[in-house]
Amino acid sequence: MRVPRISRRSALVLSATAVALALSGGVAWAFWTAQASNVPAYGRADSMTAGSTPSGTVTGTSVNLAWSAGTTVGGHPAGGYRISRYPSASGGTATAAAQGTCAAVPANALSCTESNVPAGTWYYTVTPVLGAWQGGESPRSAGMTTGDSFSLSVPALTAGNAATVTLTAVAAGHTDTGFTGDHPVSFSGPGNAPDSTAPSYNNGNSTVTFANGVATVPITLYKAENTTLTATSGNVTGNQAVTVTPGAAAQFQVPAPSGAVAGAAQNITLAALDAYRNTATGYTGGKTLTWSGPGTAVSGQAPAYPANPVTFTSGTATVPLTLYLAQTTTLSVGDSHISGVSPSFTVSPGAAAQFAVSTGLAQKAGAAFPVTVTALDAYKNTATGYTGSKTLAVTGPSPAPDGTPAPSSVATVFSAGTATATLTLVKAESTTLTLKDGSLTGTSAQLTVSAGDPARLAWSGVTVSAGTLSSPCMFTCTDTGIGNSGTLTAKIAITDAYGNTVSNLGRTITVTTNGGGFTSPSTGTSVNLTTSATGLAESTQTFTFKSQNGSWTSDILTATSGTYSNATATVTKS
Query: What beta strand segments (E) does 62-180 contain?
Result: 62-66, 80-86, 95-96, 111-114, 120-130, 133-134, 144-146, 149-153, 157-158, 162-171, 174-175
119 falls within a domain:
yes
Tens-place pLDDT, residues 552-562:
999 999 999 99
pLDDT value of residue 319? 98
Sign of the Cα torsion 552, 553, 559, 562 reads: negative
CA distance 69 to 107: 12
Q: Are residues 86 and 187 in the same domain?
A: no
Q: Are residues 280 and 228 in the same domain?
A: no
2 falls within a domain:
no
Q: Which residues pair with 240 in a beta bridge?
A: 229
Q: Are residues 175 and 274 in the same domain?
A: no
Q: Are residues 240 and 258 in the same domain?
A: no
Give the number of other CB atoms < 10 A from CB of residue 311: 12
106 falls within a domain:
yes
CA distance 534 to 556: 30
501 falls within a domain:
yes
pLDDT value of residue 23? 35
167 falls within a domain:
yes
| Element holding 23 (H helix, E strand) | helix 8-24
- The span from the first CA to the last CA of the chain, in angstroms, equals 195
Q: Are residues 270 and 176 in the same domain?
A: no
* Residue-wise burial string across 480-498, b where 16 or more C-beta atoms lie within 10 A, e elsewhere: bebbeebbbbbbbbbbbbb
pLDDT value of residue 19? 35
Nearest 5 degrees, angle CA 560-CA 564-CA 569? 45
Give the number of other CB atoms < 10 A from CB of residue 113: 19
Q: Are residues 88 and 167 in the same domain?
A: no
CA distance 505 to 511: 18
Query: What beta strand segments (E) does 425-553 contain?
Result: 429-431, 434-437, 440-443, 447-450, 456-464, 468-469, 476-480, 487-495, 508-513, 517-520, 526-530, 543-546
Q: Provide the CA 33 distance to its chain's centre, in angstroms.
A: 92
Q: Which residue, of 245, 278, 313, is where some domain finishes?
A: 245
Tens-place pLDDT, residues 334-353:
999 999 999 999 999 999 99
Q: Which residues pair with 216 in a beta bridge?
A: 166
Q: Are residues 271 and 311 in the same domain?
A: yes
pLDDT value of residue 26? 33
CA distance 247 to 282: 8
| Element holding 411 (H helix, E strand) | strand 409-414
Q: Output the domain CATH number for residue 264.
A: 2.60.40
The answer to whether 513 and 555 are in contact (CB under 8 A) is yes
CA distance 216 to 162: 13
Q: Are residues 217 and 272 in the same domain?
A: no
- Going by C-alpha positions, the residue among 454, 463, 455 that lies closest to residue 542 is 463
Residues of the chain short of pLDDT 70, as ranges, are 1-45
pLDDT value of residue 178? 87
Q: Output the domain CATH number for residue 480.
A: 2.60.40.10
Q: What are phi and psi of 204, to 5 degrees?
A: 85, 0
Q: Which residue, of 213, 245, 277, is where some domain finishes?
A: 245
- Please count the structural domains in the chain: 6
Q: Are residues 61 and 38 in the same domain?
A: no
CA distance 220 to 210: 20
For the chain, how are helix, strand and coil distributed in percent, rounded to 5? 5, 50, 50
Q: Are residues 134 and 155 in the same domain?
A: no
Q: Which residue, of 146, 162, 186, is where some domain finishes?
A: 146
pLDDT value of residue 22? 36
The answer to whether 515 and 555 are in contact (CB under 8 A) is yes
Structural domain of 329: 251-338
3 falls within a domain:
no
Sign of the Cα torsion 519, 522, 528, 530 reads: negative
Q: Are residues 108 and 189 in the same domain?
A: no
pLDDT value of residue 27? 35
CA distance 475 to 554: 18
Burial label for 90, CB within 10 Å (0-12, 13-18, 19+), is: exposed
Q: Are residues 110 and 182 in the same domain?
A: no
| 3-state DSSP assignment of residue 515 | coil
141 falls within a domain:
yes
Give the Å distances, CA to CA, from 59 to 40, 114, 174: 54, 10, 9
Q: Output the domain CATH number for residue 439.
A: 2.60.40.1930
1 falls within a domain:
no
